Amino acid sequence: MNDNDSPLVEAGPETQTLIRPEFLSPFMEIGRDEWARLAGSTPMPLTANEIESFRGLGELLDIQEVEEVYLPLSRLIDQYAIAARKMHERTRGFLERGGDRPSTFVIGIAGSVAVGKSTVARILRDLLARWPETPRVELVTTDGFLYPNAELQRRGIISRKGFPESYDRRALLRFVSQVKAGVPEVYAPHYSHLVYDIVPGEFTVVRQPDILIVEGLNVLQPATMQHPLAVSDLFDFSIYVDARTSDIQVWYRDRFLKLREKAFSNPNSYFRRYARLDDEVAVAVADEFWTNINEPNLIENIRPTRARASLVLRKEADHRVQKVLLRKL
């Protein structure tokens, strides 16, 4: 059984012969065709040029994919956001307190490096902003909450950048808590992929959005005894972007080769030393990064959080979503 086919919840040996697997999962499985029909007659609000701008390196994203996968998803999330707002109103009425604004609806998006979660986040940001109930949507990545490289070096974990311990969890938790609490302006540190580090003095400012999307590798990590409150505890809805490990490795390798031709060639790039590698050496370097850093992080930290998501998008080798797993209510 490969990792893409492994169940999200497994039965013990004493129950496997008594209970069918579909009854054990907390998710309902929805095939591509069935899911696509949920868009109904909803018009596509995005243009082909806008969709092109969302596409990550090496991803096959077109208007059909957005219409059949992400438009229904935005409709579903919009319903969750409306329900959360109504629940807020009912709670305030029960408590006989009124006047305050509903808290920001927070969405977490998790998944491996190169799986396409940033593209998912960008598409949903623009789709959700077209719904009348949620016109103000902000997107923040957890890259800005990585410790600066100097601090990672001091702690001896620079080689584990992207692993849970490389993030300032308290700062991230404080940021999301302040947004949900309705603080007028909340600041997220800015991370530059060009210099591969936090940029001192640069911030993303979030001003009381209807929806905040938080995208990152490890955003679905649970609380622990050491960290009794996790940022995932503040999510109202969460998405895990899933694919076979072997497919993600291919996507990572392809992305590395494209970056070698583009971003790495910038003289200010942290990775400029890789710009002149020939194809064979570049592939070997990419595979080394994958085997030593990204795959262990996926197996040890990221994939174990998949079952905690509200919804799982299951991709095939062509980057297209073929199955949706939605948590049962």
pLDDT band at 53 (very low <50, low <70, confident <90, very high): confident
**What pLDDT score does 170 carry?**
95
51 contacts: CB under 8 Å, gap ≥ 6: 61, 62, 63, 66, 123
Structural domain count of the chain = 1
The CA distance from 71 to 43, in Å, is 9
In a domain, residue 47? The reply is yes
Structure tokens at 183: 């603080």
Structure tokens at 244: 């076979």
**What pLDDT score does 264 carry?**
85
Question: What value, to the nearest 5°, has the Cα angle with vertex 127 and ends 240 and 39?
Answer: 80
**What pLDDT score does 48 carry?**
85
pLDDT at 165 over 90: yes
pLDDT band at 52 (very low <50, low <70, confident <90, very high): confident
Identify the CA nearest to 196 among candidates 247, 287, 259: 259
Identify the CA nearest to 297 among candidates 165, 192, 171, 191: 165
In a domain, residue 165? The reply is yes
**What pLDDT score does 2 carry?**
53
In a domain, residue 97? The reply is yes
**What pLDDT score does 163 carry?**
97
C-alpha distances in Å from residue 286, one per residue of 37, 256, 262: 39, 6, 15
Terminal Cα-to-Cα distance of the chain (whole angstroms)? 28
In a domain, residue 222? The reply is yes
C-alpha distances in Å from residue 188, one per residue of 86, 144, 158, 172, 203: 29, 7, 21, 8, 5
In a domain, residue 248? The reply is yes
Identify the CA nearest to 298 among candidates 247, 228, 231: 247
What is the percent of the chain where pLDDT is above 70?
92
Judge contact between 44 and 68, C-beta under 8 A.
Answer: no
- Window from 48-52, 187-191, 208-212 with minimum mean pLDDT: 48-52
Q: What's the mean pLDDT in 279-304?
A: 96
**Coil/strand/helix, residue 83:** helix
Mean pLDDT, the chain, as a whole number? 90
In a domain, residue 205? The reply is yes
Q: Which domain holds residue 116?
A: 21-327
In a domain, residue 10? The reply is no
The CA distance from 324 to 73, in Å, is 10
Q: How far is CA 242 from the centre of its chain?
A: 10
Who wins on pLDDT, 290 or 49?
290
For 72, list phi and psi in degrees, rounded to 5. Answer: -60, -35
- Window from 160-169, 264-273, 294-303 with minimum mean pLDDT: 264-273
In a domain, residue 194? The reply is yes
Structure tokens at 159: 């080689």
15 contacts: CB under 8 Å, gap ≥ 6: none
pLDDT at 16 over 50: no
Q: What's the mean pLDDT in 36-44?
A: 88
CATH classification at residue 255: 3.40.50.300
Q: What's the mean pLDDT in 184-210?
A: 96
Q: What's the mean pLDDT in 167-171?
A: 96
Q: What is the CA radius of gyration of the chain?
A: 20
Burial label for 327, CB within 10 Å (0-12, 13-18, 19+), is middle
Give 3-15 pLDDT, tens digit per residue.
Answer: 555 556 544 444 3
Task: Name the one residue in this structure whose structure tokens are 């302006």.
Answer: 185
**What pLDDT score does 1 carry?**
44
Give 305-326 pLDDT, tens digit per residue.
Answer: 999 999 999 999 999 999 999 9
Q: Which residue type is seen at 229?
A: L
**What pLDDT score does 14 carry?**
44
HSE on the CB side for 221, CA within 13 Å? 28
Strand partners, 213: 107, 139
The beta-strand segments (E) located in the chain are 27-31, 105-111, 137-141, 186-192, 197-206, 211-215, 237-242, 311-315, 321-327
